[in-house]
């Protein structure tokens, strides 16, 4: 009997949809004869999340009723909590309910899964954007993806045939929930806090993790391995930088680094809830929620992702939020501090953010020693020096501190 938090859903067990052995071989052969539908990298990554059980208890892409209820009430029609739609889109006019299709990744040509279509429907894209992202602004990267979706959504159960590039490209970091759970159990951990990352760890990230280490059995440094927006640092560089930090600045046995096969939604508060859902499946009892969790630009308040956990029904999630206030280096305190521990003013504080790290290094600037560990800075400098083209990185209020708390 595991002492870890139970997986999400009524069954309280992992429900991976990835086929294996003879069943996988037979379905893969069958898929070659089916009508093919091309899918986006976002849809492919969602399939992999369902395949490995990270999206337990989903069994496929959502129906219109599920889509509507998730948008409006953050729950599936059976009442299970779920904060973000997981849908499949097509502009194929001929596809109909009852069809069996092969789903092919548009980038790689890999057959990712088969689907038994139960429903074909259209949605109000603006409604999804307002519900999930709180905006219909065409500059928001999540809104861009929703508005670019084809005309129809297809619902139905899926059989997942492939994990895509993740097992090979991110060998040693990419993990399935069953694997992370075994690691935690072998370490004797019960209370595990996940640290969500899409950037290399700067000193504020390190501080968050070390606060959690003090009150938890261990911390799962869990980073996104899917596609990011322009200007973000690629996953392979991030993995190397994080490992350098773990090896040199953490006590052995207090942290584990892992990766998950998903793209950022930049949905702020709603995405924080989704992060808690699938971290529960990975075996985490807590999710560290700091400043501007899963945010982008100035679309969300810096602590909206913390506040939303107070608005969901009691018992909706077993993975709890571990809220930590805005952290920074305080010159008067002589080290890292937070808004709750530092009595000094703005002029005494060095605010740290991944956006500032990326902007400074991409422009060839030097980071203050208080910003990031030297081993990490060296890896990032080498990366930026290797780039032929630079992407302009804009600072926003959540990065500079020019927002109301």
**Residues with catalytic annotation?**
198-199
Q: Is the dihedral of CA 126, 128, 133, 138 positive or negative?
A: negative
Q: Is the dihedral of CA 59, 60, 61, 64 positive or negative?
A: negative
CA distance 204 to 195: 12
DSSP state letters, 304-359: HHHHGGGGSPTTS-SSEEEE---EEEETTTTEEEETTT--S-GGGEEE--HHHHHH
Answer whether 299's CB lies under 8 Å from 268's CB: yes
CA distance 255 to 218: 6
Answer whether 292's CB lies under 8 Å from 253's CB: no
Q: Going by DSSP bridges, is the β-strand pair 349-351/327-330 parallel, antiparallel, or unpaired?
A: antiparallel
């Amino acid at each position: 009997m595991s002492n870890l938090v139970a997986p999400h859903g009524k069954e309280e067990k992992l429900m991976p949809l990835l086929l294996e052995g003879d069943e996988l071989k037979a379905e893969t052969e069958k898929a070659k004869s089916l009508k093919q539908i091309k899918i986006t990298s976002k849809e492919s990554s969602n399939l992999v999340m369902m395949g490995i059980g990270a999206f337990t208890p989903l069994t496929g892409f959502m129906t219109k009723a599920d889509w509507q209820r998730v948008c409006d009430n953050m729950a599936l029609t059976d009442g299970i909590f779920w904060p973000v739609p997981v849908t499949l889109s097509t502009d194929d006019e001929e596809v109909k309910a009852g069809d069996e299709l092969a789903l092919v990744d548009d980038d790689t040509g890999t057959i990712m899964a088969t689907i038994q279509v139960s429903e074909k429907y259209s949605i109000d894209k603006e409604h999804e954007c307002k519900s999930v992202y709180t905006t219909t602004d065409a500059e928001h990267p999540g809104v861009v993806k929703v508005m670019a979706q084809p005309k129809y959504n297809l619902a139905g159960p899926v059989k997942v045939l492939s994990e895509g590039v993740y097992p090979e490209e991110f060998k040693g970091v990419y993990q399935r929930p069953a694997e992370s759970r075994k690691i935690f159990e072998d370490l004797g951990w019960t209370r595990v806090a996940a640290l969500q990352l899409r950037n290399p760890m700067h000193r504020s990230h390190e501080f968050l993790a070390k606060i959690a280490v003090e009150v938890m059995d261990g911390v799962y440094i869990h980073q996104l391995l899917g596609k990011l927006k322009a200007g973000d640092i690629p996953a392979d560089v991030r993995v190397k930088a994080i490992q350098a930090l773990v090896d040199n600045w953490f006590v052995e046995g207090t942290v584990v680094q892992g990766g998950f096969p998903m793209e950022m939604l930049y949905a702020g508060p709603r995405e924080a809830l989704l992060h808690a859902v699938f971290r529960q499946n990975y075996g985490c009892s807590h999710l560290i929620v700091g400043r501007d969790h899963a945010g982008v630009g100035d679309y969300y308040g810096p602590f909206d992702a913390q506040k939303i956990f107070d608005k969901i029904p009691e018992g909706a999630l077993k993975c709890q939020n571990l809220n930590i206030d805005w952290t920074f280096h305080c010159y008067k305190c002589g080290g890292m501090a937070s808004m709750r521990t530092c009595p000094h003013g703005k002029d005494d504080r060095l605010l740290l953010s991944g956006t500032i790290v990326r902007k400074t290094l991409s422009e060839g600037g030097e980071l203050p020693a208080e910003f990031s560990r030297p081993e990490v800075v060296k890896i990032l400098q080498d990366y930026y020096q290797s780039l032929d083209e630079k992407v302009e990185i804009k600072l926003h209020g959540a990065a500079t501190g020019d927002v109301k708390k």
